[in-house]
Amino acid sequence: MEQPQRVLIGIGGGIAAYKVCEVISTLFKAGMQVRVILTDSAKQFITPLTVATLARHPAYTDADFWQPHERPLHIELGEWGDVFLIAPLTANTLAKLSYGIADNLLTNTVLASKCPVLLAPAMNTEMWQQVAVQRNWQQLLTDTRFHGLAPGYGLLACDRIGAGRMAEPAEIVTGVQSLLHTGGERDLLGKRVLISAGGTREYLDAVRFIGNPSTGKMGLALAQAALHRGAIVTLVHAPIEESVPPGIRAIAVVNAEQMQQAMLENFPDADLTVMSAAVADVKPAAYSSEKLPKRSLPEQLLLAPVPDIVAELGRRKQLHQRLIGFAAQTGDIITPARQKLAQKKLDAIVANPIDKADVGFGSNFNAAIFLDFHGRQVEISQCSKLQLAHHLFDFVHGL
């Protein structure tokens, strides 16, 4: 059996500490081992008993730091973790880490560890925007060990609306999962990655359209994975169910023609393009800007073709660019994927089985077979869509 992944979490003294409870619970339910360190100020917002209950392991505090141990506690913890999450990261702890100060269990453990560290700051807008705080933040991120989830914009506990809101638990969990896969390596650092997502809608009238069940979850996972690996990410998405995380440039479209325009405009600057959107094959030949009465609906719907976006991208692809396609299929998924790989001039393709339980459209999970123009073939069994995204980028790295 594989060793469970181990996540060390440091909680700072801020009201956002309550959000970390969801992070701990989610990671534990995903089968990970979790250990938690609370600073003295963190205990003013959340109790050791709370996090110990959620992690199924006693929480560590500065009181434990000064107790005798067989080996120093900060050394044991620093060697134990595969990923170290600090959330909320306060201005105080940020300043200490940026200058290598170690005066409590949390900061000593950071210096005694080698694993990647994920930082999720949270503070009042005025505090976050201080020159000293921004200097410390930028300085810390020059160390490749540290990975940042910049705070978002919203209503803060001080009733101020502005920057400083800690990243939401789901975004933090995704960041942890990415680091567990990559070990903190940024193999796409500085690369421009263009991704399409979601199912396009081809409207008959103001309310009716031809579409498909795609929710855009796979495309979002690809965008997050690329971002976590250091890429500059642009996501062109049809209507999707989830919000696009911060740090990703998002371009919203509805139909295939709009998606084609956005993809063609951004394609020349892209080093890697992943066409994961489920683009419609046809559209109604006629469109009404008003809702048609039921009696006026045609008995036979005339259809017209829509642009073949990935084929056009294949024709325009330059030598330095890589183009990845998706092929959602039932039955034999490899033969049509190989044909599409060659016909569309792709560098690689993801063959998706959509006739299996709990994979593909709408699911949080996926399975696939990766094929490339060299003849390589790799099968990925059912896993989360974020994991599949990372497996794909690992595969593409071989190109």
Query: Kind and range of the H or E element at 370?
Result: strand 365-372
Phi, psi of 263 (to 5 degrees): -65, -45
Residue 340 marked in a binding site: yes
Instruction: Determine how many CB atoms are found less than 10 A away from the CB of residue 152.
Output: 15
> What tokens were used for 318?
């330059």
> What tokens were used for 47?
């109790």
Residue 361 marked in a binding site: no
Distance of CA 392 to the CA centre of its chain: 14
CA distance 352 to 397: 20
Strand bridging mode 232-237 / 249-252: parallel
Residue 309 marked in a binding site: yes
Distance of CA 296 to the CA centre of its chain: 45
Bridge-partner residues for 323, per DSSP?
Answer: 273
Phi, psi of 283 (to 5 degrees): -140, 160
Residue 271 marked in a binding site: no
For residue 191, what are the CA distances in angstroms to 20, 232, 234, 375? Answer: 32, 6, 11, 25
Residue 344 marked in a binding site: yes
> What tokens were used for 342?
């060659």
Residue 19 marked in a binding site: no
Residue among 21, 115, 158, 383 flagged as catalytic: 158
**Amino acid identity, residue 266?**
N
CA distance 81 to 77: 7
Bridge-partner residues for 195, per DSSP?
Answer: 235, 274
DSSP 8-state class, residue 248: S
DSSP 8-state class, residue 290: S
Give the closest residue to 322 by CA, choosing from 247, 231, 261, 259: 231
Give yes or no: 158 in active site.
yes
Residue 253 marked in a binding site: no
Annotated binding residues for CTP, as ranges?
281, 291, 307-310, 326, 340, 344
Which residue numbers belong to the known binding site? 281, 291, 307-310, 326, 340, 344
Q: Looking at the annotation, which residues are catalytic?
A: 158
